[in-house]
Structure 1
Amino acid sequence: MQQLQPGLKGRHLSMIAIGGVIGAGLFVGSGAGIRNTGPAIILSYALAGILVVLVMRMLGEMSAASPSTGSFSSYADRAMGRWAGFTIGWLYWWFWVVVLAVEATAGAAIVHHWVPALPAWLIALAVMAVLTTTNLYSVGSFGEFEFWFSAIKVGAIVLFIALGGLAIFGLLPGTEAVGMDNLTGRGGFFPHGGGAVVTGMLTVVFAFMGSEIVTIAAAESKDPGRAVAKAITSVIWRILVFYLGSIAVVITLLPWDSSKAGTSPYVAVLDHIGIPGAAPVMDFIVLTAVLSCLNSGVYTASRMAFSLAERGDAPRSWTRVSSRGVPRRAIWASVAFGFLAVGLNYYSPDVAFTFLLNSSGAVALFVWLVVAVSQLRLRRRFEREAPERLVLRMWGYPVLTWITIVGILAVLVTMLFDASARPQLLWSIGVAAVVLVCAWVQQTRHRTGPVPAPELPDPQEEAVR
């Protein structure tokens, strides 16, 4: 049987786990949340962060017990049936191929600003081509690129927090201690009311998408169970430091209602404390985050496609791997749509590309919901059939699992009543309905009798698939 190969090193997985949660949205998109919520945006990040921590702990429990390239899609398959694994797997694949187009376009805009003579569409295609090539070569090359991309992002955030912290207490030359005025003045900590904290979550919750990549990548390491357990236990301090820490610096140093805070708050902070060349430096860091996201997107979409093909839910040819253990056909299938989406963004940004964005906007929440429901069901099976595999357990099971499910549903309901988020939810539900119909057709075509509950696979066999 053709198999993926354990080509990712421990340092690759560690840096993917640390840096995977840091995307361009943190550096750029956080400004809109600050403007709409005020200083209380830090509570929005905290609530969203708590949801992510709980979901990742649940996913970690399942991944450590039974590592799989299909991750939550494979677990949904076992917990709820093939229709669930099929649906969430294809939705997740859809999400990442759309992200490829979004990030390629964003990266092209930055480079085009530096080199106006190069057309943006050519830059986008070139960036896509380079990162596709690295993924086609070996999983190790993906890991190496991601290691350095993540190292730059992590270094930038740590340095930002350190400089911002010194500025807050007036320890940098030319700065004075700022006190609490920006947090409690200008309308108070809740200038738009407490309800803005919940709606603020809608602008920040999707920034956390990407944390789950490490559970997919761990299956291509030498000791996947241990790697997952180590990565998951670090998720709490990652969120505390990178998100809550950096946002706390921003809202403490800058008035929430200033025009600077509403655009690129990180650049505004660096300008405020007198760091020269803040804009181009941040452009470079954002470009690094974009390239990291693209690199991860190619990898993640292809591995999900590979897993779906292994289970008979995608063309079997996608399971073919190269001599280096790379599923090249799954990669080509994933990036082909990414290239098409890049073209749609340039030829029809107002209609076709807007549809693509909206149709994948709520997938993160769908994934988290499926993870929680799967863990709720599989935990009982592991305790009954293989308790020795539960080396990383979900806290407060099943109470915290149910609380997480209720929290995710609450965010989805909030999206329904928010005018700006409603199109994303409705279009995402529409795409999910189409995929569900495809799942029903697929299951009907292959149904020959009662389908027994799938057995829990051997963790060593599952890890190399």
Structure 2
Amino acid sequence: MEEKHEKGLSAWQLTMMAVGSVIGGSFFLGSAVAIHSAGPSIIISYILGGILVYFILFALSEMTVNNPGVGSFRGFAAEAYGPGAGFITGWVYWTGMVLAMSSEATAISILVKSWFPGVSTTILGSSIIVGVTLINLLGASKLSKLESSLAAVKMITIVAFIVAGVLLILGVIRGVGGNGNIVYGRPAFFTEPFFAEGFRGLAGSMLIIMFAYAGFEIIGLAASEARQPRVTVPKAIHKTVVLLLSLYILSVGVLLFLIPTSDISGNASPMVTALNHFGFGWAGTVLNIVLITAILSTMLAAMFGLGRMIRSLADEGHAPSFLKEKREVPYKGIVFSGAAMLLGLFVGLLFPQIYLFLISAGGFSSLFTYAMIMASHIRFRNTHGKPGDRLRLRGFPYSSLFVLVCLIAAIAFMPFIKGQGTGLIAGIAIVAFYGISYFLMTLYQKNRGNKKDAYKTNKELGFEISKELTAEEPDREKK
């Protein structure tokens, strides 16, 4: 444990881990759905999403650093609302992330198969999951170095797209097509209603946007492993939010200036579509390579959080006892999560319809977790009071209540996004499943405890009777 305090994670390492976890397939591919829902007002959704991320990160980090013994946001939910809330929060988050990451492994396999069609999807997907698991076993410091490299690749790619888009808009460069130069024109910002489907479309897009931001909670989970966390974590939060907001808003803004939303398809990256529109077909291959690194980066960071979540659950007796871990790196939790991802991959290949239903619950799991973080923070601040340093959420209680209301609204508007109505149903089903599981577990433990007490009482009674009998024997002999 000394190594953690002497070295620890720097603000930049924490930032790169968070950016690496956030910028993945949900941004490079999933943003198309959100753009169709909100239209040009998607910019407002990204700004609002960034504000919510900022508040959630400060709330989570405040609780983690000021009460490090709890372990994770699951622990804070348990401390605030009882062990049942902690049990459900932890397992819902873990399940949603495992399903999402196993689907990411499938996505990488499909992309690779486009270049090597003879390779089995099962072998590719399994190899990716095993590789991600093994890399996480190396520890936080080594993982952060790899994450920094992969995150840098993603950031450079997005910045390159922004620069290329601006040059196209200004006419410095022109697209090339079969009939000569392709001239910039018909941008969505100038030809379409700002709110494509009114407030309903804007609110509905928040689900996709928050899923595009999902993974930032890695800062809160890693806060206890940071170097001088009270100084490092606030810096990492500011850098993460500024970086993500800048990259997301600028890239989407440029995209909406380049092409109309009707040209954007959910089957391809909007960036690839925009560049193909101007005749840069080679960009599709480059962006597909970057997409693979982006998904790998997301999986690595997600596994980091999953291993620590399992350790937290096991420490409270809410996971099998063989998963308890005292070492700094939660080896058992990481391997267990990797095995669950493999199982998810196989289920997806064997029963794709059932699997798609479960995967759609990923967005719900993220929103549910973030809502529980904010609800826990409200109770945490009321119990422990206001911290005296910079590492605290400002504007309490209004900031916490604002975020909580926005998250609940995003969940309520899930049915208005195509394909997410089933996600809401699946998410509620997962919460209900773990709620019933907790009830049955506590009932079993209670009955087991009663049996032990009864056994102990009978044993003590038998011992007293035997003492009485042996005490009477000498009297009988005298008679």
TM-score interval for Structure 1 and Structure 2 normalised by the shorter chain: 0.7 to 0.9
Structure 1: unaligned runs, 5 residues or longer: 449-465
CA displacement 1:211-233 (0-9 Å, x = unmatched): 11121123223433333222222
CA deviation map 1:313-354 (0-9, x unaligned) = 2123323356xx422221121111111111111111122x12
Alignment of 1:231-242 (within 5 A): 231-242=236-247
Specify the alignment match of 1:406 in structure 2. Answer: 405
- Conserved in 1, the CA contact under 8 Å of 2:186 and 2:259? no
Equivalences, count: 440
CA 1:109–1:170 in structure 2 vs 1: closer, same or farther (change >3 Å)?
same
* Aligned equivalent of 2:204: 199
Determine if contact 1:69/1:219 at 8 Å carries over to the other structure. no
Are the aligned partners of 2:367 and 2:411 in contact in 1 as well (CA < 8 Å)? yes
Q: Measured at CA, do residues 225 and 235 of structure 1 come closer, stay the same or move farther in structure 2, by a change above 3 Å? A: same
Within 1, Cα distance between the matches of 2:302 and 2:65?
A: 23
Cα distance 1:164–1:63, how it changes in 2: closer, same or farther (>3 A)? farther
Alignment partner, residue 378 of structure 2: 376
Pairs within 5 Å for 1:143-158: 143-158=144-159
Q: Which residue of 1 aligns with 2:470?
A: none
Q: 2:189 aligns with which of 169, 183, 187?
A: 183
- Compute the displacement of 1:444 (Å): 5.5
Instruction: Quote the offset at 1:173 in angstroms.
Output: 5.3
TM alignment of 1:210-359, pairs within 5 A:
210-259=215-264, 263-273=268-278, 275=280, 277-320=282-325, 325-351=328-354, 353-359=355-361
Q: Which amino acid aligns with 1:64?
A: V
Question: Residues 215 and 302 of structure 2 are in contact (CA less than 8 Å); yes or no, is this contact kept in structure 1?
Answer: no
Whether the aligned pair in 1 keeps the contact of 2:29 and 2:270 (CA below 8 Å) is: yes
Deviations 1:271-317, CA, capped at 9 Å, x for gaps: 34554610110001110111012212222111100111122221233
Equivalent residue for 1:9?
A: 9
Q: For residue 462 of structure 1, what is the aligned residue in structure 2? A: none
Question: How far apart are 1:112 and its partner, in Å?
Answer: 1.2
Q: Secondary structure at the match of 1:234?
A: helix
Equivalent residue number for residue 113 of structure 2: 112
Q: In 1, Cα distance between the equivalents of 2:46 and 2:101?
A: 25
Cα gap change, 1:333 to 1:14, in 2 (>3 Å): same
- Structure 1: how far apart are the matches of 2:128 and 2:168? 37
Are 1:24 and 1:290, in contact at CA under 8 Å, matched by a contact in 2? yes
| Structure 1 counterpart of 2:390, one-letter code | V
Distance 1:203 1:107, change over 3 A: same
Retained in 2: the 8 A contact 1:305–1:314? yes
Cα–Cα, structure 1 residues 68 and 248, in superposed 2: closer, same or farther, change >3 Å?
A: farther
CA contact (8 A) 1:4 1:327 kept: no
| Partner amino acid, structure 2, of 1:297 | A
The alpha carbon displacement at 1:139 in A equals 2.9
Write the distance in 1 (CA, Å) between the matches of 2:145 and 2:125: 22
Change (3 A) 1:314 1:28: same
Give CA-to-partner distance per residue, 1:119-141, whole Å, 9 cap, x none.
11111111111111111233333
Please tell me whether the aligned partners of residues 21 and 299 of structure 2 are also in contact (alpha carbons under 8 angstroms): no
Residue in structure 1 matched with residue 439 of structure 2 by the alignment: 440
| Partner Cα distance (2:2, 2:124) in 1 | 34
- What is the alpha-carbon root mean square deviation over aligned residues? 2.7
Match of 1:451 in 2: none
Q: Residue in 1 aligned with 2:21?
A: 20
| Bigger Rg over Cα | 2
**Secondary structure, in 3 states, of the residue corresponding to 2:248?**
helix
Matched, 1:80 2:81: yes
| Separation in 2, partners of 1:48, 1:214 | 17
Identity of aligned residues (%): 30
Distance apart, 1:116 and its partner CA: 1.5
Find the aligned partners of 1:161 and 1:411 in 2 and give their Cα distance. Answer: 29
Note the 1:19-98 alignment, pairs <5 A: 19-67=20-68, 70-98=71-99
Q: 1:354 corresponds to which letter in structure 2? A: L
Change in Cα spacing, 1:225 to 1:315, as seen in structure 2 (3 Å) is: farther
C-alpha distance in structure 2 between counterparts of 1:69 and 1:133, whole Å: 27
Contact in 2 for aligned 1:64/1:391 (Cα 8 Å)? no
Query: Could you tell me the TM-score, scaled by structure 1's length?
Result: 0.86
Which residue of structure 2 lines up, in the alignment, with residue 421 of structure 1? 420
Structure 2: state its 5+ residue gaps: 176-180, 450-479
Indicate how the Cα distance of structure 1 residues 160 and 121 shifts in structure 2: closer, same or farther if over 3 A, else same.
same
Q: For 1:129-175, what per-residue CA distance to the aligned partner results, in whole angstroms no more than 9, with x for missing partners?
A: 11111112333332222121111111111222222223222233568
Rounded Cα–Cα distance in structure 2 between residues aligned with 1:330 and 1:121:
23
Which digits, 9 at most, give the CA deviation of each residue in 1:30-64, with x for residues without a partner?
12222333222222323333322222232232233
The CA distance in 1 between the partners of 2:418 and 2:134, in whole Å, is: 41
Deviation of the 1:180 alpha carbon: 8.1
Name the structure 2 match of 1:454.
none
Aligned to 2:476: none
